[in-house]
Amino acid sequence: RPSPKGGLRTFPAIRFLMAAVNFDWELVSGSRVLAVMGRNERRMSGASLAWDEVAIVLGENAVVLSVNYDTDEVVVDLSAVPASDDWQEVSSLQRLVAKPLGWCWVVTNYRGYSDGFILALGDVLPEALEPKLMFLGEGSALTCFQMTPVGY
């Protein structure tokens, strides 16, 4: 876009970030979800729910989503299943239980921040490739959106 002086507008350099998924997704792809737990669930404006962290339990391990409080970037780790009392079952995400994890995507906004994580559920095509949920880092919290293809 041209600048008011007629030249090209310059933008600050976009910083390069490490992927928000801190492990090889192939380690969990196809694993069945046993439970979904969240830490510090709260209701946001507009009636949506938010959490400090969400754990997708896969047996002895869990895919744990958290938010970098300084940048609102979503961080995805593979770790032991959380065992402290401040983790509770996330009833609104129990539809994930017994479904296998499919593909995942890291969403980067126009400023270069990886503040979204998209998850597909399924072990056969096309389900394994169809995005179903998007976790977003907003205001130092995780929110979750259900994705529906256009035309449904």
- Whole-prediction pTM value? 0.84
Unique residue bearing structure tokens 């008011």: 4
Confidence of residue 123 (pLDDT cuts 50, 70, 90): confident
Whole-angstrom Cα Rg for the chain: 17
Residue 23 makes CB contacts below 8 A (sequence gap 6+) with 76, 77, 78
Note the pLDDT of residue 6. Answer: 53
Q: How many other CB atoms sit within 10 Å of the CB of residue 45? A: 5
